[in-house]
Structure 1
Amino acid sequence: MVALISRLILLAQLLITAGITLVLIHFAQFRILPAATISIAILIAVRMLITANNFRLACRFRSETPQQFRISLLQACRLYLEEFCSTMITSSWTMPFRALRIYIATQPKGIPVLLIHGYGCNSGYWRSMSRALREAGITHHAVNLEPVFGDIDDFVPEVREAIETLCRKSGHQRIILLCHSMGGLVARAYLCAHGTSNIAKVITLGTPHHGTALAEFGAGLNSEQMRWISHTQDQHSKLREGALAMVDIAESCPAGCNGMPGHWLKQLAKREDPAHYKLFTSIYSHQDNIIAPQTSSHLPGAYNIELHGIGHVALGLNSRVLQIVIDEILATNQQD
């Protein structure tokens, strides 16, 4: 479904670009090449503005950035350009046309990996990661979560089926879950339902473990389940209800953040065995443009790897992150 939606969006963009080109040719007397160039430039500018707006929104709810993870203006420009390019590649090429199939390495290294994508994506998001896993000789499989805007808990059976398939075809009883964004919450919901007997490790990339304020701008039940409620939003809601009151959020609020996780995330935490967190490696960026506050990705009890200068979509494509993930996978094999 995501592949189809992505293709339709891509087709709409091409039609709009063609329409602008025709208008420029017939009404402004442009030649074909200049008209097409201007039309494509307009399309790219709009896409760049969408990416910039994500950074703007994330900035509104950002957590305090530790001194060692702050970036210069030049690094900020690189961050933006990498995120924009990553978004263009995934939304316009890999998700529409490059869905993944199971890969069984001929000379396997490490534990097999199941890739779980995030909100609004499909297995095509993992194309760059899959290439790195293949080069490292790591067997892997990817799941496509459907329906796109469904309940996170309802994705668990799909993950269970994919785990059973990977275990059966690889000959391993335990695997690693590698998750981007919402995928990490799906993994946590899976562990609640089925335990850890088949799971050696869970690696999350930019997962909103405590929620993200930008989920308020998303669609679907899963977006609502990922919400982070800032103090200001919470106060406004209570004022509308005519019952403004003090709320104790000390246990649910990540350090340095001004708010709390939404209802579903609180209920998820109550259902979990805290011992599960020892299986987690949470990798996140202090400049994430979708997860805000950024320290929402910090999972207490897990091994947290803090990065800087990397955007949300780019976490699955960035060479530095790819190497960290490969190292984590191979280290897990050595530990076992």
Structure 2
Amino acid sequence: MTTPTLPQPLPNRPEPPTGSALARLQRTLMAAAWVTSLLWLVLMWPRSPFWASVGLMLGAWSHAIILAVELALASRVNRTDSVTQPSFAQRVNAWWQEATLTPSIFLWRQPFRWRDLPDNTGTAGRFAPGSTVVLIHGFVCNRGFWAPWMQAMRNAGVPYTSVNLEPVFGSIDAGVPLIEDAVSRAEQLGAKLPVLVCHSMGGLAARAWLASAPGNLRRVGRVITIGSPHHGTWLARWSRVTNGRQMRQHSDWLNALAAKEAALHGHQAYTPFLCWYSNADHIVFPTSTAMLPDADNRHVPGVPHVALAFHPTVMRESLAMVVPAAISPEARTAS
């Protein structure tokens, strides 16, 4: 009887995407914010320590104020949606989750730690017996967004590749060759078809890649989207950048993509999809816009947009589809 080989920690060697314009932009914005805060403090403190302190507090919690506005808008728009609305307590909890989580991502992981836990390289059969994961982030993000997923997969012996979707505010279609490269690299790692794991706009980028060639749908085992605006989002009506306009409800880009998918694959276009969505998503709403027909649509109530990607249920059940026997206790609890 052959003793099964347990998955080993993955080598921390290869080179992932070599640059991140978003990381540079976020570092620049952070520096500008620090300089502005210092000037405010120097100018205002002699006049009024109270207002100097209030100004600093408002700056530090401006993201939480914007988040509260977005949740209020989502609540109003979702009144006519088919998905049950969250309770007031769920909304408050969603606000707190997102307000405390997002600084660690946008002020630390993405600008400074995005190179950590690089992609794997090698040949099929080197790793745990299962699929490879291709990680595709969303709007104004880079691969640093996925750090908890990467750590969980390394613990479980699951190989992965990733992308930095750029230009940051360019067309979603610009991500197609980047995803092609990541999928091609993933095909060299796993014994089974790669699984795409996508957050937010990343789900649309994955669909654009799938529709870019007739055979692409047969190259993946599953497509997991987390809070992706498959039918657009109400909030995108305020956007003036290219990929933001493409995410407007009923946009020409979304209509053209759906028509291309139907022509290529008919009613089977979305059968490989697992779509996670939440009624407390403050970026992608109305809630039902995150679902696809004929897909496995799963609701996680009361969870905001970014936190949804790291919800224990979402991570545990998604990773279990990749390589069930290899998911370690560390992978089950990572968040």
Q: Same fold (TM over 0.5)?
A: yes
Question: Do residues 214 (structure 1) and 203 (structure 2) align?
Answer: no
Q: Which residue number corresponds to residue 257 of structure 2?
A: 268
Give the structure-2-normalised TM-score: 0.80
Question: Do residues 321 (structure 1) and 314 (structure 2) align?
Answer: yes
Q: Secondary structure at the match of 1:108?
A: coil
The structural deviation recorded for 1:323 is 1.8
Aligned equivalents of 2:203, 2:298: Cα separation in 1: 15
The structural deviation recorded for 1:104 is 6.0
Q: Which residue number corresponds to residue 15 of structure 2?
A: none
Q: Which residue number corresponds to residue 147 of structure 1?
A: 167
Q: Secondary structure at the match of 2:222?
A: strand
Question: Do residues 203 (structure 1) and 196 (structure 2) align?
Answer: no
The structural deviation recorded for 1:120 is 1.4
Aligned partner (choices 41, 49, 53) of residue 57 of structure 2? 41
Aligned equivalents of 1:107, 1:156: Cα separation in 2: 27
Q: Which residue number corresponds to residue 182 of structure 1?
A: 201
Contact 1:150–1:220 (CA under 8 A) maintained in structure 2: yes
Q: Secondary structure at the match of 1:61?
A: helix
Question: Do residues 102 (structure 1) and 85 (structure 2) align?
Answer: no
Aligned equivalents of 2:325, 2:248: Cα separation in 1: 32
Aligned equivalents of 2:272, 2:325: Cα separation in 1: 10
Q: Secondary structure at the match of 2:198?
A: strand
Aligned partner (choices 37, 47, 52) of residue 17 of structure 1? 37
Aligned equivalents of 1:45, 1:216: Cα separation in 2: 25
Question: Do residues 134 (structure 1) and 127 (structure 2) align?
Answer: no
The structural deviation recorded for 1:54 is 1.8
> Structure 1 residues 12, 314: CA separation in 2 closer, same or farther (over 3 Å shift)?
same
Q: Which residue number corresponds to residue 17 of structure 2?
A: none
The structural deviation recorded for 1:189 is 1.1
Aligned equivalents of 1:262, 1:200: Cα separation in 2: 29
Matched AA of 1:167: E
Aligned equivalents of 1:75, 1:303: Cα separation in 2: 24
Q: Secondary structure at the match of 1:26?
A: coil
Q: Which residue number corresponds to residue 114 of structure 1?
A: 134
Q: Which residue number corresponds to residue 255 of structure 1?
A: none
Q: Secondary structure at the match of 2:212?
A: helix
* Structure 1 ranges of 4+ moved more than 4 A: 34-40, 63-67, 104-107, 331-334
Deviates more, 1:324-333 or 1:182-191: 324-333
Contact 2:236–2:244 (CA under 8 A) maintained in structure 1: yes
**RMSD between aligned residues:** 2.6
Q: Secondary structure at the match of 2:283?
A: coil
Once the two structures are superposed, residues 95-150 of structure 1 have per-residue CA deviations (whole angstroms, 9 ceiling, x without a partner) of 11121420469752531101001111111111122222223322111100111121
Contact 2:222–2:272 (CA under 8 A) maintained in structure 1: yes
The structural deviation recorded for 1:45 is 2.6
% identical equivalent positions:
32
Once the two structures are superposed, residues 213-263 of structure 1 have per-residue CA deviations (whole angstroms, 9 ceiling, x without a partner) of 1112223221111111xxxxxxxxxxxxxxxxxxxxxxxxxxxxxxxx222
Q: Secondary structure at the match of 1:111?
A: coil
Matched AA of 1:269: A
Pairing of 1:53-132 with structure 2 (within 5 A): 53-62=69-78, 64=80, 70-100=85-115, 101-103=118-120, 107-108=127-128, 110-132=130-152
Aligned equivalents of 2:282, 2:321: Cα separation in 1: 25
Matched AA of 1:297: A
Q: Which residue number corresponds to residue 14 of structure 2?
A: none
The structural deviation recorded for 1:171 is 4.8
The structural deviation recorded for 1:176 is 0.5
Question: Do residues 50 (structure 1) and 66 (structure 2) align?
Answer: yes
The structural deviation recorded for 1:61 is 2.4
Q: Secondary structure at the match of 2:293?
A: coil
Aligned equivalents of 2:325, 2:195: Cα separation in 1: 9
Deviates more, 1:295-304 or 1:190-199: 190-199
Aligned equivalents of 2:204, 2:325: Cα separation in 1: 21
Aligned equivalents of 1:291, 1:10: Cα separation in 2: 26
> Structure 1 residues 21, 120: CA separation in 2 closer, same or farther (over 3 Å shift)?
same
> Structure 1 residues 268, 318: CA separation in 2 closer, same or farther (over 3 Å shift)?
same
